[in-house]
Amino acid sequence: MPELVVTALLAPSRLTLKLLRAFMWSLVFSAALVAAAVYGCIALTHVMCRPRRGFCGRPRHTPPVCLSDPTLGEHCFLILRSSGLRLHYVSAGRGKGALMLFLHGFPENWFSWRYQLREFQSRFHVVAVDLRGYGSSDAPKDVDCYTIDLLMADIQDVILGLGYSKCILVGHDWGALLAWNFSIYYPSLVERMVVVSAAPMSVYQDYSLHHIGQFFRSNYIFLFQLPWLPEKLLSMSDFQILKTTLTHRKRGIPQLTPSELEAFLYDFSQPGGLTGPLNYYRNIFRTFPLEPQELATPTLLLWGEKDPYFEQGLVEAISSRFLPGRLEAHILPGTGHWIPQTNPAEMHQYMWAFLQDLLD
């Protein structure tokens, strides 16, 4: 068929897709402006309540001692083959078993896996990375450096760069979202997967379109689409919004010590420390709309009954995409979003049982 005819036949579909994307972006930026107004009021309230802290975040010049705790492992760097970026990671238990690779979420870093690093280093080679843009890892400034494809290439480079052909992939929040995608596009590199508090992007998309409540729970995503303003709002009153997110009595990590809180704030207080992590969110809508995907990697899914960011109904939506017998899902009663830090013992119990056949 002549190329001109093919182009003419596809023109209506292409125009429809462009109009759909334009409509979607108009909704996204409308929601972003509303979210900016709300979070702007919250940030200004924090400043008025604590005027001595001012409108900026206090720079931290010395990392807290807990970041160099030797019981957590050795600090190392890896040059990624695909991008040439230098990625920081903490490693323990080398030579004791399969690679267990941990991917953190926002607003966190490798330190969010401190309980799991101690727990599993006796039987596995445990590695917790600072994802690109976080902590001591390289942080390109361009938004285009944080696409899902590039982030998945980072994970592949870490696994192969450490000398393994596959791994047990453990992810929470953003790290879990990346793990879902990685298991779909690089299935041969993932032997087992443990996912905490996050859904595959296609599942989240379809679920949110039918459950408006999920949009309200994820309102911060819209704020993060804007340039520079989110960085400013999150840093006001010495990062009070981030402090509240991590330490809130009901929605945060209540037992987080001041030193542990500083382990997260230290990186974000460095020049440009928030831009890389927020660029992850600025790429989310570039891949929409997404096609449904079948999930097949043997997976342990842990979900908090009281998660303030993701509805419990997402668990059933995830289950409907799995091949039979490949998913083991548990909803932890009375638990919120930060399971690896708030409920480590319960998480470890489920993980040991899920991985038992690999240890025999």
Active-site residue set: 173, 281, 337
For 291, other C-beta atoms within 10 Å of its C-beta total: 6
For residue 271, whether the previous peptide bond is cis, meaning omega lies within 30 degrees of 0, is no
- Residues 42-77: b if buried by 16+ CB within 10 A, e if exposed: ebeebbeeeeebeeebeebeeebeebeeeebbeeee
